[in-house]
Amino acid sequence: MKEVEFIVEILPEEAPVRGNACCTGDDDFDRQVEDEILADLAGGNDWAWCSVKVTARVDSIEGTAYSRYCNYTNKTAFFDDPHCAAMEEQALRELRDKLAGMRDSVERELGGR
């Protein structure tokens, strides 16, 4: 059986930090959090405000999971977050569904002979 390869990519988050990163109802606290995220981004931390795509791949067949509005101190922090494992599971489920659909399609095709 082939190994499943997992690929993690960060993508620029299209939504602005302001108004999306923190919404506690305490405007001063929310602004402080947003300022910290914006400073991290300006300092080159792409993980500070991003979308994350996790892909599970076998050969050219892929399953994917996406998460938006992500804020991490670095890549390690993402991998340490239980959300990473949940995204891998979601991508793996999609991959398995695609493979099962392909198998069913082949079986139907061969069954007609």
Each residue of 86-99: pLDDT tens digit?
A: 999 999 999 999 99
% of the chain surpassing 70 pLDDT: 97
* CA distances for 83 relative to 12, 46, 95, 99, 107, angstroms: 18, 18, 18, 24, 36
Number of domains making up the chain: 1
Q: What are the strands, taking DSSP E only, across 1-113?
A: 5-12, 50-58, 61-70
Place 102 in a pLDDT band, splitting at 50, 70 and 90: confident
User: What are the backbone angles phi and psi of residue 40, rounded to the nearest 5°?
Assistant: -60, -45
Which range marks the domain in which residue 84 is found?
Answer: 5-111
Place 63 in a pLDDT band, splitting at 50, 70 and 90: very high
Q: Give the H or E element holding residue 53.
A: strand 50-58
